[in-house]
Amino acid sequence: MPLPTPASEPSITTDPVLIFDSGVGGLSVVRALRAQLPGVPLAYVCDNAALPYGTKADDWLVARIVAVCAAAVAASGARALVVACNTASTLALEALRDRLAIPVVGTVPAIKPAAALSHSGVIGLLATSATVCRPYTDRLIADFAAGRTVVRVAADTLVAQAERLIAGEPVDPAALDRGLAPLWANPALDTVVLGCTHFPLLEGVLAERAPRPVQWVDSGAAIARRVAQVLDPLPPADAQADDPAWATGPVSPGLTRGFAGFGFGAPGLLVL
């Protein structure tokens, strides 16, 4: 697979942290990074031309993820890469670390903190089908939620709802309800792991649709803490107005507005 090359040239931030996701889900990690590491320069790349990842073959995805990330690292001059996608992290971290000469930080569902927070011992894992059924997720539950009841819910349709929300389009309440419904079958469930980085973007509307209060837990804060360790000492703050971003597919006005809301300039096109 040929490496992508940028068709347009966003303004490059010096030595940024590059966040990668299949779509806009990594913006939830951006939010945590900006809260915990204010002033640290960031860059973003989304592989929206291949969205959703959950329907693609694993071997194809690994090659694709490595190609897109390698090109974006070269274009941005990144000093670290955050793979802000659970599917990509479970598949391609080793390949990315073999290919790239910079630190690579992955994403895993927040099973451990959720298990510690739950009072009832019943937690939900709301994720994509690719994450819910992976052996990696089985190991996380065995290691950190032994003795707990974990209700696994594949809610792939919520990814599209998060994309709509970021683009400024209305979400579908019926789709939200269908995605959440399996969680409420167990009345003792009191904590929900948002196991896809798209889902924290929806937390407000998900909480509104929930029939009772629950704790919503995601990985953003833990990722930000890990990035701080990787960057120690932290780079100086960059004074430029907008951080750079790229997309592999069409850049709609809604996508541009959504990125602007998280401090990024209009995404440039990364062409395969």
C-alpha 199/C-alpha 94 separation (Å) is: 25
Structure pTM? Answer: 0.90
- Concerning whether 133 is annotated as a catalytic residue, the answer is no
Average pLDDT, the chain: 91
Task: Name residue 154's amino acid.
Answer: A
- Residues forming beta bridges with residue 269, ordered by sequence position: 247
46, 69, 133, 196: the active-site residue: 196
pLDDT at 71: 96
Domains in the chain, please, with CATH? Answer: 5-107+221-271 (3.40.50.1860), 111-218 (3.40.50.1860)
Question: In the chain, which ranges are continuous DSSP H helix?
Answer: 27-36, 58-76, 86-99, 111-117, 129-132, 135-144, 157-166, 173-180, 203-209, 220-231, 253-260
- Longest alpha-carbon distance in the chain: 52
Which tens digit of pLDDT belongs to each residue from 140-189? Answer: 999 999 999 999 999 999 999 999 999 999 999 999 999 999 999 999 99
46, 69, 85, 133: the active-site residue: 85
The closest alpha carbon to 123, from 131, 113, 114, belongs to 114
Which tens digit of pLDDT belongs to each residue from 66-99? Answer: 999 999 999 999 999 999 999 899 889 999 999 9
Which tens digit of pLDDT belongs to each residue from 14-36? Answer: 689 999 999 999 999 999 999 99
Instruction: Considering only residues 12 and 130, tell me which one the structure prediction assigns the higher pLDDT.
Output: 130
- Concerning whether 196 is annotated as a catalytic residue, the answer is yes
- What Å distances lie between residue 93 and 85, 98, 120, 142, 160, CA to CA? 11, 9, 34, 21, 25
Q: Is the pLDDT of residue 8 over 60?
A: no
Mean pLDDT of 260-272: 91
pLDDT at 149: 98
